């Protein structure tokens, strides 16, 4: 399958996320994309079930966007710190999940304070937007944020292997995504990026007819 990618620099991506109505546009696109394959809310619920979030879980959500996942995390009783660089996204997220703590920051520059206090660091549909170096830096932030035994989790786009509808939707959405998503969609790329950052990934759970995946990873014994 040939996929065409929109060219978007990091600066362009950042300014796109500062647009006044970006949160509404993003939510509409997420709803539309996943509606034919079970819906974005089902995807989020299944991902958080897979990650075993409980009221005892202290979560750092990096790239929380408009708070669709933040709201679910808070609903499960987790204590949540949510970070994003987009003010309009954060404003909507704060309305949806007032019990969470929000911080505005570029992800790779974020300093978890105090460090090593989170049980779970979650990247939900974020890492595909970062280039290779920024992904490694973001995982470095995650490593510093995690308490001993904590986990990092990724929920993100995958390239569906079968199904006309899923493949057509994938082709559509990746027309909007930055070029960084091209490498990200390769088989095993997320797992490799995690290993390079000193994490040992578990198996992928495919979601939404293979349009998305969830996986978690722990610090490798040798690097812990």
Contact residues for ligand SAM, defined by CB under 6 A: 17, 26, 63-65, 68-69, 84-86, 89, 106-107, 124-126, 129
Q: Quick one: tokens of 75? A: 């609903």
Q: Residue 65 or 160: which CB sits closer to ligand SAM?
A: 65
Rounded to 5, what percent of the chain is helix, strand, coil?
A: 45, 20, 35
Could you tell me how many residues make up the chain?
224
Q: How far is the CB of 112 from ligand SAM (least distance, A)?
A: 14
Q: Residue 99 or 224: which CB sits closer to ligand SAM?
A: 99
Q: Residue 108 or 220: which CB sits closer to ligand SAM?
A: 108
Q: Residue 69 or 166: which CB sits closer to ligand SAM?
A: 69
- β 212-219/118-124 pair status: unpaired
- β 146-157/118-124 pair status: parallel
In the complex, residue closest to ligand SAM by CB: 65
Q: Quick one: tokens of 176? A: 């909007």
Beta strands, E only, 39-193: 58-62, 79-84, 101-104, 118-124, 146-157
Which sign does the torsion angle of CA 9, 14, 20, 25 carry?
A: positive
Q: How far is the CB of 69 from ligand SAM (least distance, A)?
A: 5
Q: How far is the CB of 135 from ligand SAM (least distance, A)?
A: 10
Q: How far is the CB of 191 from ligand SAM (least distance, A)?
A: 20
Q: Residue 48 or 166: which CB sits closer to ligand SAM?
A: 48
Q: How far is the CB of 148 from ligand SAM (least distance, A)?
A: 26
| Listed residue (155, 24, 157, 9) closest to 86, CA to CA | 24
């Amino acid at each position: 399958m040939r996929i065409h990618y929109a060219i978007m620099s990091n600066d362009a991506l950042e300014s796109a996320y500062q647009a006044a109505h970006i949160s509404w546009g993003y939510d509409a696109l997420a709803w539309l994309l996943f509606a034919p394959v079970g819906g974005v809310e089902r995807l989020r619920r299944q991902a958080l079930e897979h990650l075993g979030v409980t009221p005892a879980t202290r979560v750092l959500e990096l790239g929380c966007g408009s708070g669709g996942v933040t709201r679910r995390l808070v609903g499960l009783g987790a204590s949540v710190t949510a970070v994003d660089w987009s003010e309009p996204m954060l404003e909507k997220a704060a309305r949806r999940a007032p019990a969470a703590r929000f911080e505005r920051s570029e992800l790779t520059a974020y300093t978890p304070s105090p460090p090593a206090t989170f049980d779970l660091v979650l990247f939900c549909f974020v890492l595909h937007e970062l280039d290779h170096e920024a992904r490694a830096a973001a995982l470095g932030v995650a490593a510093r944020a995690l308490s001993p035994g904590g986990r990092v989790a990724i929920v993100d786009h995958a390239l569906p292997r079968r199904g006309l509808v899923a493949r057509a939707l994938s082709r559509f959405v990746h027309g909007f995504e930055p070029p960084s998503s091209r490498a990200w969609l390769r088989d095993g790329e997320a797992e490799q990026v995690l290993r390079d950052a000193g994490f040992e990934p578990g198996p992928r759970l495919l979601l939404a007819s293979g349009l998305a995946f969830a996986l978690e990873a722990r610090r490798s014994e040798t690097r812990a």
